[in-house]
């Protein structure tokens, strides 16, 4: 879901690009963060809590809360709510606290 019209804000979505989520091709706009593009595509579960392994979704949306830490291009613990998508970017759900590579 995306807001198409807003009484005050204007959206410059920029060009449409593709990236990958768990290996699956996804579409989004170049102006969007990873989480925004995933939400628009219906993906709301962004990870699991480290101790009890319960689903975690978007919470603070400003890069503070650690609720949306994901593996991006092999790099663990990326705050997906503040990082923008790039063409061909590989986004994956993270297992546990993330594996250093």
What totals of helices (H) and strands (E) does the chain contain, helices first? Answer: 1, 7
Per-residue tokens: 79? 């705050």
Binding residue (CB under 8 A) for other proteins from 76, 84, 90, 93: 76
Widest Cα–Cα separation across the chain: 46
Residue with smaller CB distance to other proteins, 44 or 97: 97
Residue with smaller CB distance to other proteins, 50 or 57: 50
Map tokens 């990326």 to a residue: 78
CB 35 within 8 A of CB 19: no
Determine, following the binding rule CB under 8 A, whether residue 54 of this chain makes contact with other proteins. no
Determine, following the binding rule CB under 8 A, whether residue 97 of this chain makes contact with other proteins. yes
Residues that bind other proteins (CB under 8 A): 50, 75-77, 95-101
């Amino acid at each position: 879901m995306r807001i198409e019209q807003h009484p005050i804000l204007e959206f410059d979505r920029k060009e449409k690009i593709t990236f990958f989520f768990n290996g699956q091709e996804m579409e989004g706009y170049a102006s969007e963060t990873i989480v925004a593009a995933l939400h628009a595509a219906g993906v709301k579960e962004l990870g699991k809590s480290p101790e009890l392994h319960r689903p975690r979704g978007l919470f603070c949306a400003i890069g503070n809360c650690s609720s949306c830490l994901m593996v991006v291009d092999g790099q663990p613990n990326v705050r997906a709510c503040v990082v923008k998508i790039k063409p061909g970017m590989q986004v994956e759900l993270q297992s546990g606290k993330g594996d250093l590579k």
